[in-house]
């Protein structure tokens, strides 16, 4: 039987040595969230292996490799009390980590377009005890009802940053998204900072994500 707590601790040590986890807040969040509770039951024992795994949906959805969460989240500078928008709830694991990072006083909104994946995330978050606003809808349109957001995290590849997400990003806020085509060469993981002078863009690394669907995503 897998010792999940030990596996989680070993993963965190590995990611600290590799430079993926850089802050104490991130370390504590990854140590706290039980990733095994967000896996498809068929792959539960592999929760702490460094690779993505399928989750319920239309056959394209995955729970990303675990290191991609600190890689994407550390540059966003999460602080307690922040309001976070996640596009592509997937398994719900990313939203749970975000909730740990912003604390009880923070708000996490996650939008998922696939009904089966949305239901999977909802079950996982409820079982693990995370209070997240989970929306079934077109993530490329964001969620204007609770805007503006301090942080926006897009977890699906997009041809460009959807304009509604930039509109809903708070001045001074940060957005991260895999931007580019659907080729095997992948996308650029772009960090966007919204300032009074305009948007700054910085490419962090090459990544490969499933495509964002919806009005400002890729066509079906």
Q: Which residues are catalytic?
A: 64
What is the rounded CA–CA span in Å between residue 132 and residue 106?
10
10 Å Cβ neighbour count for 45?
A: 14
What are the Cα distances from residue 177, in Å, to 120, 152, 156? 23, 8, 7
What is the rounded CA–CA span in Å between residue 41 and residue 163?
37
Burial string for 152-167 (b: 16+ CB within 10 Å, else e) reads: bbbbbbbbebbebbee
What are the Cα distances from residue 179, in Å, to 35, 85, 101, 106, 183? 26, 17, 25, 27, 12
CA dihedral 218, 62, 26, 202 (to 10 degrees): -30
Pairing of strands 169-179, 187-195: antiparallel
Pairing of strands 62-63, 53-54: antiparallel
Which residues are CB-neighbours of 129 under 8 A, at least 6 positions away?
none
Return the structure tokens found at 61.
């959805």
């Amino acid at each position: 039987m897998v010792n999940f707590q030990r596996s989680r601790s070993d993963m965190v040590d590995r990611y600290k040595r590799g430079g993926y986890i850089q802050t104490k807040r991130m370390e504590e969040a990854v140590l706290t969230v039980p990733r095994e509770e967000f896996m498809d039951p068929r792959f539960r024992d592999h929760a702490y292996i460094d690779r993505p795994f399928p989750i319920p949906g239309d056959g394209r959805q995955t729970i990303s490799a675990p290191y991609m969460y600190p890689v994407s989240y550390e540059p966003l500078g999460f602080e307690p009390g922040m309001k976070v928008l996640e596009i592509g709830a997937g398994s719900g694991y990313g939203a749970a980590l975000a909730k740990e990072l912003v604390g009880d006083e923070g708000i996490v909104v996650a939008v998922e377009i696939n009904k089966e994946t949305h239901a999977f995330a909802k079950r996982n978050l409820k079982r693990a005890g995370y209070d997240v606003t989970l929306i079934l809808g077109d993530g490329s349109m964001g969620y204007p009802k609770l805007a503006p957001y301090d942080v926006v995290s897009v977890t699906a590849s997009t041809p460009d940053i959807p304009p509604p997400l930039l509109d809903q990003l708070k001045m001074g806020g940060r957005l991260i998204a895999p931007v580019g085509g659907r080729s095997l060469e992948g996308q650029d993981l772009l960090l966007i900072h919204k300032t009074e002078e305009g948007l700054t863009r910085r490419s962090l690394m090459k990544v490969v994500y499933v495509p964002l669907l919806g009005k400002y995503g890729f066509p079906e």
